[in-house]
Structure 1
């Protein structure tokens, strides 16, 4: 199979038929073997009914229905798990991503040998205040933090080698940072393609301004995880050890000075009257807690490696 198209969605009943037909026509005109994987992320409209009807007419259509809304990252992860195509394309279901871009993205993966190609919506049809300006700030911060020179981390239209989606695990709200996650896994040949962006035809956006706040918080998380995600003890253990040693040496110095003054007959004050005593004590406690946090982090990583963060309610053609 040439291409798997993975489409997460939430309440997009009006656009699904048109999106399916557009994708199918593009695939047939380019003689691609394909599958379309719709992941219904807890829709409350008739989106799943539309997907069921499409799957009866076209056996290349596959569907996954979540028990409730888990988020785009979980939807992508579920789609990646079953994708069989040599190249995996992700796109949004709102018709703002153009299926006409699929052949170009496929060519970049197969002929130009990219591991991942991220779309760049150079010309956008979104609200300038609520989406365009925050998006530019977010992308600037992501470039500086990750070292990847991509203009549009949040573009839903991306292409991957199958190997990439089977290696990268997407959870939480990390779908924005799949290129960073891929880079961390050793896939360094990451490119970018200017893609057509279209105004929303049906419904309303499911994302508000809060996604950029969450995006910046996730950026801090991914920056930490990039360095210490698989070895938390290297971070917490180091700082825990340094803080404990600082506190211990400070306490030792305070005690030694107390003994010296007593042996020399010099009048002294109670150790507990010295503010450095409490600084030393606090440092040792914090150091111990950080060290324990490192151990707990290692245990959590080991126990959560194969844990799924969503529940599938129904599947079609799988």
Structure 2
């Protein structure tokens, strides 16, 4: 199969018929074999009924329904587990991503050899309250990750299939898919300017809080990428430094005390010396960091149910 399209959705009943018809039209016009995985993230409207009706008309449409709302990243994770196409396309269900972009995204992966191609919504139909924070977020992510992309959060992306099979998307990490791919060893990452269309139905499901969570996710991802498999390297190093500071402080106090006693020099009590408390606090913190490192090592080897989501129903799985 040429292409698998993964579409996370939440309360998008109005846009689904138009979106699936558009995708089908584009695929047939370009003679591409395809499947579409609709991942219903616990919709409370008629989205799932609409998906089932569309499935009856189009056997290329397949779907998963969550029992409750988990978020976009879990929806992508489950969709990636199902896909069988050579190239995997992700896009939003609100019709702001154009299916007309799919053939060129497919070509860039298949013919130009990109592991991942990220869409760039160069001209956006969003208010300044979304575009300005997004530009700042992208600039920070670009600087921290070293990946030269303009729009990390664009939902329209194309992947080589082994990329999505090699990465684990959880929490809200869908904003950082290029970085996840990079950590997995896929460094050939490209970018394509894509059309961003004004929302036709409904309203955006994302609020201002995503800016805060986006930065927190980036920090978490950088930590996991660097130390996820070896947390003791970080906590052990910090613990050693803190412990050495504390030990050095106490040795300094002891040396000053012995010198003063040997030369009968007036001196203050140990408990009145601020270095005593600095040394004591540093040794305690160093010990705690060591313990944290050991616990983190244990946690890193467990957590097998981190991506265990309740799936109510799957249709179309072969």
Q: After alignment, is 230-239 or 39-48 more displaced?
A: 230-239
For residues 238 and 158 of structure 2, what CA distance do their matches in structure 1 show?
40
For residues 266 and 210 of structure 2, what CA distance do their matches in structure 1 show?
62
With the length of structure 1 as denominator, give the TM-score of the two structures.
0.96
SS in 2 for 1:304: coil
Give the match for residue 238 of structure 1: 237
1:259 offset after TM fit, Å?
3.1
For residues 277 and 254 of structure 2, what CA distance do their matches in structure 1 show?
13
Runs of 4+ with deviation above 4 angstroms: none
Pairwise mapping of residues 15-94 of structure 1 onto structure 2 (< 5 A)? Answer: 15-94=15-94
With the length of structure 2 as denominator, give the TM-score of the two structures.
0.96
The alignment status of 1:4 with 2:7, answered yes or no, reads no
* Kept in 2: contact 1:171–1:309 (CA 8 A): no
CA RMSD of aligned residues (A): 1.4
Q: Which runs of 5+ in 2 are unaligned?
A: none
Equivalenced residues, count: 317
Q: Give a deviation string over 1:189-209, Cα, whole Å, max 9, x none.
A: 000001111000000000112
Q: Give a deviation string over 1:205-235, Cα, whole Å, max 9, x none.
A: 0011221122122222223233222222111
SS in 1 for 2:297: helix
For residues 264 and 124 of structure 2, what CA distance do their matches in structure 1 show?
80
For residues 190 and 8 of structure 2, what CA distance do their matches in structure 1 show?
23
Give the match for residue 273 of structure 2: 274
Give the match for residue 195 of structure 1: 194
The change in CA–CA distance for 1:230 and 1:90 in structure 2 (over 3 A counts) is same
Give the match for residue 170 of structure 1: 169
For residues 170 and 11 of structure 1, what CA distance do their matches in structure 2 show?
22
* Kept in 2: contact 1:19–1:93 (CA 8 A): yes
Pairwise mapping of residues 260-299 of structure 1 onto structure 2 (< 5 A)? Answer: 260-299=259-298
For residues 7 and 199 of structure 1, what CA distance do their matches in structure 2 show?
18
Give the match for residue 215 of structure 2: 216
SS in 1 for 2:165: helix
